Structure 1
Amino acid sequence: MQEHHPETPGKISDAPMNGREIEARIAEAKEALGSRVLILCHHYQPDIIARFADHMGDSLHLSRLAASRKEARYIVFCGVYFMAETADILSAPEQEVYMPDPGAGCPMADMARLDQVERCWRELTERVGETILPITYVNSSAEIKQFCGRHKGVVCTSGNAAKVMDWAFEQAPRVLFLPDQNLGRNTALAKGIPKEEIALWDRRKAELQGDPDRARVILWDGFCPVHVRFTPEQVIGLRTQHPGIRIIVHPECTETVVRLADGSGSTEYLIREVREAESGSVFAVGTELRLVKRLASTLPDRTVYPLDEEHSICIDMSRSTPERLLVVLEGLLQGQAPGRIQVSAETAEWSRVALERMLAIS
C-alpha cells in the first residue's frame, strides 16, 4: 500500500452537534472564507458533501479547475488522495490543497508501488530495450506519475485513454499501462489490438504473463474493487427484466461486462448519455452507486437503474464527512487547518511533465 502519511482529522468540539448545526457552520465558514476557498467534489461523493461543492466533476476536470482558479488561496478537495495530489501538482505554488480526510485512498492506485514498477521496468527494458513507453491512468500516485514523466511517458484519463495510447504508439512500438488492467485492456481491444498482443505483468510474482517480444500492450495487474464487481450475469439479468434498456458502464469494468454493454466511457460520458437521452429512456449504469442515484434523482423523466445496488459504493469516497469538512474550513479561518496535501518539489516537477504531455495531446 502507498504510504499517505495522513494527518489525524481535528476535532470540532467536545459537545455533540446535530447535522443541521454542522451544515450551518459549514455554510458560515464558507461564506467567511469567500473567494479564498474553492471546494471541489468528485461525482462519487455523498450528496451531503456535494451540496457544499463549488464544482463537481471527475478527478482531472476538478484538478484543472484548481489550476485555473488562481484567486482561491485554499482548495478543499472532497475525493480521494491521488486527486488532491494532482490538484496540488497543477495548482500555483501559493495555493494550498486540503482534504477532509487525507486517509481516503484509492485501492487501485495503491496496487502500483514505485519499487514494484521500477523492477518491472528494469526487467522489461532489459528484454525490449527502449521500445516501450509508460502510460499511467490518472488514478495513480504522484510517484507513479513522476516515474512516467522521467521515462518519456504520459498520464491518461478514462475519457482520453484511446487518444493517449495513439500518441504513445507514435513514440514507441510498446506501452506499459498502469495501474488499471481493465481500462488498458478495454482501450487496446477497442483499438483493434489482438489479445495475443496484450500481456499482463503480475506484480506479486514480478513476472510477465505473455510474450514480451510479441506484446504491444503490457498491462499492470491493478483494478478498481468497485467496478470489477459488476458481472455479465447482472447485464443479462437487467436485459431480461427490462427489454429495450440501454446499459452503459465505466471502462474500469471487466472486458466481458464492457463487451456486453451498449456503451462504455468515463463518468462524464455516463452522465452525458443519460442527460442527453430522450424523456422516458431506461438505463442501467455500471459505476459507483452515488453517481447513479444522483442521475436517477435529478432526471426523474428517465429511469436509471444501478447495475449492482449492493456492492457499488466506494468506501474511501465515504470518508469525506460534514464533520471533517467543517474542521478544515474552520481551521482555515483560524490559520491551523488539518489535512493539507503537499507533493514534494521533485515529484511534482516530473508528475507535471507527464500531466502536461497528456494535456497537450487532448
Structure 2
Amino acid sequence: MEILEEIEKLKREKGAVILAHYYQDGVIQDIADFVGDSLELARKAIEIEAETILMCGVYFMAETVKILNPGKKVLIPYPKAGCLMADMVIEEELKAFKEKNPDYTIVTYVNSSAAVKALSDVCCTSANAVKVVSSVEGEKVLFVPDKNLGSYVAEQVKDKKIKFWNGYCPVHEKLTAQRLGILKKKYPDAEVVVHPECSPSVRKLADFIGSTSQIIKHVKASDKGSFIVGTERGIIHQLRKVKPEATFIPAYETFVCDQMRMIILDRIANSLKNSVYEVKVDAETAKKAKEAIERMLAL
C-alpha cells in the first residue's frame, strides 16, 4: 500500500516514533513502533528519545504522553478522538467532591482528562488498579470515573471503603450477561476472557478478567483452543499473533470503540507530514497531573 510506504518515509524524515493502543485497527498496530495498553504506553513514553511522538489512540492518551514528555512534540492524528468514559467526570464536579470530602483519597483511572488527573492523588490503569488502591493510605477512596473497574477493585480490596464515580465505558457496557450466556452455550469449550470495564454480571461469567495486556499474556499461556473475547476487538489482532492456531470470538460482533477508529492511515500521514495536531497541556495542570501519574509508575 502506497500510504504505508508514505508513513514509513515520513516517520524517518521527521524522526518520529509511533505509539498505538491495542484497540487500534490491526494495520495501524503493525506500523507502530510500540503497541501496548495504557500502562505499557505510559511506561514507554518516558523512555522515548525521539523528539516527535505520534499517539495513535484517543486524546487522553496523547495528553498523558505529553505530560510525561513536556519538552517533546506530541501529535495525535485526529484531535476529536475522545473517550466517553473520560467525559463522564469533569474538573468542576471532582473539585466540589474534594472540598466536601477531604478525607477521601482520589484514585483516577488514566481514562480521564489532564485536568481531572491534576486533581487526583494517584492515577491507575486497569492493569494496576488493584495494586494502586491497595497501596494508598487512608480507608476512604473515591474511584474515578469507571464504576465497573471500581467495583472490580472493591471485590479484591476488602480493607478500603471505595466510592465509585458514576462513569462507565459505553462499548464494554453493551456486553450483557444474557448475550455472553448465549455465547457460552454456543461455544462451551471456549474460555471467556473479559476486561474489568465490563459490568459485574458479565465478569461473573468470565474465566479470566484482566487488562488488554493481561488478556494477551493469559491467552498465550492458556492451553485452550478457543476464546470468547470480552473487550474491544482490536485486541484480536495481537491475540492471533501470540496464538495463531486458536479461534477468537468477539463477545458481540460490533465490539468496537468508534473513537479509537477515528485514527486512520490518511490522518496519520497528514499528521506526520504537516506536524498536526500537536497536543498542548497547561504547565500547571501538567505538573499536578504528572505527580499523580508518577505515583502510579513508582508502584
Whether these two folds match at TM > 0.5 is yes
Question: Is the aligned partner of 1:167 residue 2:167?
Answer: no
Instruction: Judge conservation of contact 1:64–1:87 (CA < 8 Å) in 2.
Output: no
For the residues of structure 2 that align with 1:167 and 1:192, how far apart are their CA atoms? 12
1:190 equivalent in structure 2: 156
Q: CA deviation at 1:28?
A: 1.8
* Correspondences of 1:66-145 after superposition (within 5 Å): 66-70=45-49, 72-91=50-69, 93-123=70-100, 125=101, 130-145=102-117
The one-letter code of the counterpart of 2:248 is V
* CA distances 1:210-265 after superposition (whole Å, capped 9, x unpaired): xxxxxx11100000011111111122212211223210100000011111211101
Q: Secondary structure in 1 aligned to 2:60?
A: helix
Selected match of 2:261 from 313, 318, 322 = 318
Q: CA deviation at 1:343?
A: 0.9
For the residues of structure 1 that align with 2:127 and 2:212, how far apart are their CA atoms? 8
Instruction: Judge conservation of contact 1:284–1:306 (CA < 8 Å) in 2.
Output: yes
* CA distances 1:9-66 after superposition (whole Å, capped 9, x unpaired): xxxxxxxxxxx33222212212323xx2110011001123222100100123113212
For the residues of structure 1 that align with 2:45 and 2:238, how far apart are their CA atoms? 24
Selected match of 1:345 from 278, 283, 292 = 283
For the residues of structure 2 that align with 1:293 and 1:96, how far apart are their CA atoms? 29
> TM-score normalized by structure 2?
0.95
2:13 equivalent in structure 1: 32
Change (3 A) 1:166 1:298: closer
* CA distances 1:315-340 after superposition (whole Å, capped 9, x unpaired): 11011111111112112xxxxx1100
* CA distances 1:86-107 after superposition (whole Å, capped 9, x unpaired): 001111x431100000110110
For the residues of structure 1 that align with 2:46 and 2:199, how far apart are their CA atoms? 33
The one-letter code of the counterpart of 1:233 is Q
Name which one, 1 or 2, has greater alpha-carbon Rg.
Answer: 1
Q: Secondary structure in 2 aligned to 1:343?
A: coil
For the residues of structure 1 that align with 2:278 and 2:94, how far apart are their CA atoms? 27
Q: Which moved more, 1:301-310 or 1:153-162?
A: 301-310
Q: CA deviation at 1:74?
A: 0.1
Q: Structure 2 stretches of 5 or more lacking a match?
A: none
Change (3 A) 1:45 1:263: same
CA-based RMSD of the aligned residues comes to 1.6
For the residues of structure 2 that align with 1:276 and 1:31, how far apart are their CA atoms? 36
Q: CA deviation at 1:352?
A: 0.9
1:291 equivalent in structure 2: 235
Instruction: Tell me the matched-pair count.
Output: 299
2:171 equivalent in structure 1: 226
Q: Structure 1 stretches of 5 or more lacking a match?
A: 1-19, 198-215, 332-336
Q: Secondary structure in 2 aligned to 1:304?
A: strand
Instruction: Judge conservation of contact 1:176–1:218 (CA < 8 Å) in 2.
Output: yes
* Correspondences of 1:226-245 after superposition (within 5 Å): 226-245=171-190
Selected match of 1:262 from 200, 207, 222 = 207
The one-letter code of the counterpart of 1:346 is E
Q: Secondary structure in 1 aligned to 2:252?
A: coil
> TM-score normalized by structure 1?
0.79
Q: Percent identity?
A: 39
